[in-house]
Amino acid sequence: MHEPPEILLLGPGPSPSSPHVRRAQSKPLLGHLDPDFVPLLDAAQIGLRRLFGTENQLTLPLAGTGSAGMEAIVANLVEPGDRVVVGVNGVFGQRFADSVRRAGGDAVEVVAEFGTALDIKAVCAAVAVGATKLCVVVHAETSTGVLTDLRDIAAATRQSGALFAVDCVTSIGGLPLDFDEIGVDAAFCGTQKCLSVPPGLAPITFSERALERVHARKHPVPFYFDTKLLTGYFGKARSYHYTAPVSMIYALVAALEEIEAEGLEARFQRHRDVSAALRRGLEPLGLKPLVPVEHAAPMLTTVCYPAGIDDAAFRKHLRQQHRIEVGGGLGALAGKVFRVGLMGHGARIENVLRALAAFGDALAAAGHRPDVSAALAAVHCD
Ligand SMILES: Cc1ncc(COP(=O)(O)O)c(C=O)c1O
Q: How far is ligand 1, taken at its centre, from the CA of residue 377, in Å? A: 34
pLDDT at res. 331? 87
pLDDT digit string (tens) for 316-359?
Answer: 999 999 999 999 999 889 999 999 999 999 999 999 999 999 99
Written as one string, the DSSP assignment of 252-310 is HHHHHHHHHHH-HHHHHHHHHHHHHHHHHHHGGGT-EESS-GGGB-TTEEEEEPPTT--
Q: Which CATH number fits domain 19-260: 3.30.930.10, 3.40.640.10, 3.30.2130.30, 3.40.190.10?
A: 3.40.640.10
pLDDT at res. 136? 98
pLDDT reading at 134 higher than 90: yes
170, 189, 204, 302: residue to mutate for ligand 1 pocket, most atoms within 8 A of CB: 170
Contact 306, 287 (CB under 8 A): yes
62, 146, 169: residue to mutate for ligand 1 pocket, most atoms within 8 A of CB: 169
327 lines ligand 1 (CB under 6 A): no
Q: Residue 309 and residue 290: Cα distance in Å, rounded?
A: 16
142, 172, 194, 325: residue to mutate for ligand 1 pocket, most atoms within 8 A of CB: 142
Q: How far is ligand 1, taken at its centre, from the CA of residue 368, in Å? A: 34
Q: Which stretches of 11-119 are DSSP H helices? A: 19-25, 38-52, 66-77, 91-102
Q: Sketch the domain layout of the chain as residue ranges.
A: 19-260, 263-379
Q: How far is ligand 1, taken at its centre, from the CA of residue 73, in Å? A: 14
Residue 242 backbone class (left: φ over 0; alpha: ψ -120 to 50; beta: rest): beta
Contact 21, 258 (CB under 8 A): yes
Residue 222, preceding peptide bond in cis (omega within 30° of 0): no
- 143 CA: nearest ligand 1 atom: 16
Q: How far is ligand 1, taken at its centre, from the CA of residue 197, in Å? A: 14
pLDDT digit string (tens) for 42-82?
Answer: 999 999 999 999 999 999 999 999 999 999 999 999 999 99
67 lines ligand 1 (CB under 6 A): yes
pLDDT band at residue 381, thresholds of 50, 70 and 90?
Answer: confident
CATH 3.40.718.10 fits 263-379, yes or no: no
